[in-house]
Amino acid sequence: MADIKKIGVLTSGGDAPGMNAAIRAVVRTAEYNGLQVMGIRRGYNGLINGDIFEMNARSVADTLQHGGTILQTARCDEFREPEGVRRAAEVAKIFGLEGLVVIGGDGSFRGARDLSEHGISTIGIPATIDNDIGCTEYCIGFDTAMNTAMEAIDKIRDTATSHARSSVIEVMGRDAGYIALNVAISCGAESIVIPEKEFNFDEDVLRPIIEGRHRGKKHYLVILAEGVGSAIPLAEEIQTRTGIRTTATVLGHIQRGGSPSVHDRVNASTMGFKAVETLLAGRKNRLIVMQNNKIVDIDMEEGFKQTKQISQDDIRMCEVLAW
Ligand code: F6P
């Protein structure tokens, strides 16, 4: 067991549903084991500016069912510079923080690694709706975001079917198509446009719509990942080329909010619990990740080197099932 008495917890980068469940698990596991826990507001900004307060089991009551993050979050430019990291490490030491749990995405973990070079034991928990962190099969928030998008698209489909229209729906994901591919499968989309697959307008979008119409289809859903382009010009092009009225919907930040799903709550709780157990066991500079469907801790530097690929089989299956 490590001789550690005080830790901090922060959320950084874009918020994700389930972050509160992770914070709650960190705070309660720490307190249960006799550690003092400090909450840091607005990510690394709060660390640099000393916006730090003591938390306990009661300060995280009634939080796990809510979206967003009770600690608030930010992307911190100052922390990208060595001077910002040095300042943050100094503040961490003033507050007596021996360990730090960082809940966020890839960029947040690189910040954690920089801090660890100043002697602070850091643990990263992956949280981003984009699910684009190479070393983990799952990131907190991904499941809820997909469910939110799916529910919205089901509604769009009702009206698209009634009018035999085409609909282009743009979903989030930054440079990755994980949300797009999964909601396309779950909503029965005719076509998916994602960064991981080369895109040919005539072949990938027009052909499924025109052939689908000949086979008696009543709606044509195109799921577009934001990393490829925008819904409005794509919808205009479809309407011009097919004569079918085509609407464009950008789901936007609705995908990032809302009450976390069971999957996100359970995994976020497990990851928060494991983060503190890892620190207590004396393991430092680790990432808590899902690999082979199990939540485990891995070396941070090793994690940075790992990559993952979207399933080409799933892309093909989505196309076949749209028949
Ligand atoms: O990384 C999460 C995410 O929601 C991306 O899907 C999206 O591209 C980005 O954040 C939006 O960032 P912001 O809320 O800062 O505009």
259, 226, 307, 227: which is closest to 141 by C-alpha? Answer: 259
Q: String of b and e for 59-82 (b: at least 16 CB within 10 Å)?
A: bbeebbebbbbbbbbbbbeebeee
- Residues 161-188: tens digit of each pLDDT: 999 999 999 999 999 999 999 999 999 9
CA of 124 to the centre of ligand 1 (A): 19
Distance 1 CA to ligand 1 centre (A): 39
**CB of 145 closer than 6 A to ligand 1?**
no
Cα–Cα distance list, 70 to 64, 73, 190 (Å)? 10, 9, 39
Q: What is the pLDDT of residues 242-297, one digit of tens each?
A: 999 999 999 999 999 999 999 999 999 999 999 999 999 999 999 999 999 999 99
Tell me the pairing of strands 294-299 and 286-291.
antiparallel
Q: Does residue 131 have its Cβ closer than 6 Å to ligand 1?
A: no
State the burial class of residue 204 (Cβ atoms within 10 Å of its Cβ: 0-12, 13-18, 19+).
middle
- Beta 166-171 vs 220-225: how paired, if at all? parallel
Closest Cα to atom 9, ligand 1: which residue? 174
The segments of the chain whose pLDDT lies below 50 read none
CA distance 41 to 52: 6
CB of 129 closer than 6 angstroms to any ligand 1 atom: yes
pTM score above 0.95: yes
Ligand 1, atom nearest to 129 Cα: 2
Predicted local confidence at residue 96, as pLDDT: 97
Catalytically active residues are: 130
Say yes or no: CB of residue 174 within 6 Å of ligand 1: yes
Please give the order of strands across the beta sheet that includes 220-225.
191-193, 220-225, 166-171, 246-250
Indicate the residue type of 91.
V
